[in-house]
Chains A and B, each alone.
Chain A
Amino acid sequence: MLKIKIEDMDHYEILNVSRTASFREIEKAYLIGKAAYSKDSLAHYTLLKDEERQQMLDRIEAAFMILGDEEKRQAYDENTLDKRDRYIEKAQFRQSTERMIFEDPHTDHRRTHFFRRLFSSAKKD
């Protein structure tokens, strides 16, 4: 799914780790993230405004507060991510079924087929 909005990113995406990442991987990603968006880092030079940099730094801190704690991480996975995943799945399913109704073979296509047959037989006559 196309998702580039930083506001929509979950804690894993903010830290750039997979959902199965170990504590060590999470901690490493947190330290790199913290270094990247610290005020004296050159990594965001000319690319981010100070306000944006600070917002990202806050999100990195918030993400590590949750993912760095085993209990909080488990609760987050179950209560937030699982629910969100199910919501996205439902939304995608709804979108795909809407397309199916639009392309329903028992309505438009069958009618088109009927007219095609009618005209082809008329031509033969």
Chain B
Amino acid sequence: MNPVTLIPSLSAHQISSKTIWAIGGGKGGTGKSFISANLALHLASKEKDIVLIDADFGGPNLHTFLGMRETEVDLGHFFSNEITQLKDTAVTTPFEGLNLIRGTDSLLFTANLNYYKKLKLIRHIKAFDAKRVIIDIGTGASYNCIDFFLLSNPGIIVVNPEPTSIENAYYFLKSCIIRILKIYIDYYRIEGLVQKISTQIKENSKSIYTFLNEIISHDKYYADVLYKALKKFKPYLVINKAKDEKDYILGHSITQVVQKYLVVDLNFLGVIPFDEKVQWSLNNISPYILNYPDSEASICIKSLTEKMLNSNS
């Protein structure tokens, strides 16, 4: 299968006007669902036909950030074939123009989503008739997370300014890179490299950099192919729960290091400052951006959304 079919974000041209944004980043509790929900709410206030998908199969709670509790249908109905079309699992939210596909907490489908069900979901998301689709990706860097992230154009990596979060974000990013390289290597049947890449996965530090350098010294043609594939992958970075200017500089620093050592054009989208009121909103099960539209964090979320819209236009 052509790599572009498997990784639509690597396609130079977008097939339709629909955009898919995915929010991921590896570590739990960084604010992926918070950003997904509030970004979608802001988008819905500007344009209609927004769909929010909770792809956190391990513990979906995106609905809570929207102030919703139960929904009649969720992804579980889709996975169990009770509902055949993904669009029929989308429920209207109290907010005009915003529909939600709630994640499932059924033990049958949690975390260990099987390959065919995942492909089915990917196929339906790609065919979904909506202007913008936003996917909230679960914690971790398994293929179930990575493949949904690579489906987007672009994806956003959410990081907190703390070592564990950065460590997991790098792991997440490396997993994306390995996934892209593997798909290309399989497609071009570069047999010898398969073994090499397996070894590189085991080594943690700067493996992509040394890996590509090794290929260059062996085979310039395929090195060029793989390099170009990686260069088409252009995720965004958001520093959430930022406390001061240092965290803003950290965002720029991370993109510099990633561009040099992971060969990926990671773009720094901006920061969202830490705000205790986020917790208050969550405890009251009501959307933050609507409760505090003029807070610094809300203004930053709006600004990030505008940047994303501009980058897509």
Contact = CB atoms under 8 A, between A and B. Distances in A.
Interface in B289-307: none
Given A37-B257, A43-B166, A45-B170, 13 more contacts: A2-B220, A4-B212, A4-B213, A5-B213, A32-B252, A35-B250, A36-B252, A36-B253, A43-B250, A45-B166, A45-B167, A46-B204, A47-B170
B206 interface: yes
Chain B facing A: main interface SS: helix
A46 B249 CA distance: 18
B253 A46 contact: no
B206 A48 contact: yes
Interface string B146-174: 00000000000000011100110010000
Contact of A16 (B161, B167, B213, B259): B259
Contacts, number: 70
17 contacts: A2-B220, A2-B224, A2-B227, A4-B213, A4-B216, A4-B263, A5-B213, A5-B216, A32-B256, A35-B249, A35-B253, A36-B257, A41-B250, A43-B253, A46-B167, A46-B204, A47-B206
A62 to B, nearest CB: 15
Contacts of B249: 32, 35
A33 interface: yes
- For chain A, give the interface size range: 20 to 34
A42 interface: yes
Contacts of B206: 47-48, 52
B254 interface: yes
Interface of B: 161-163, 166-167, 170, 204-206, 209, 212-213, 216, 220, 223-224, 227, 249-250, 252-254, 256-257, 259-263
Given A2-B227, A4-B263, A43 B220 contact: no
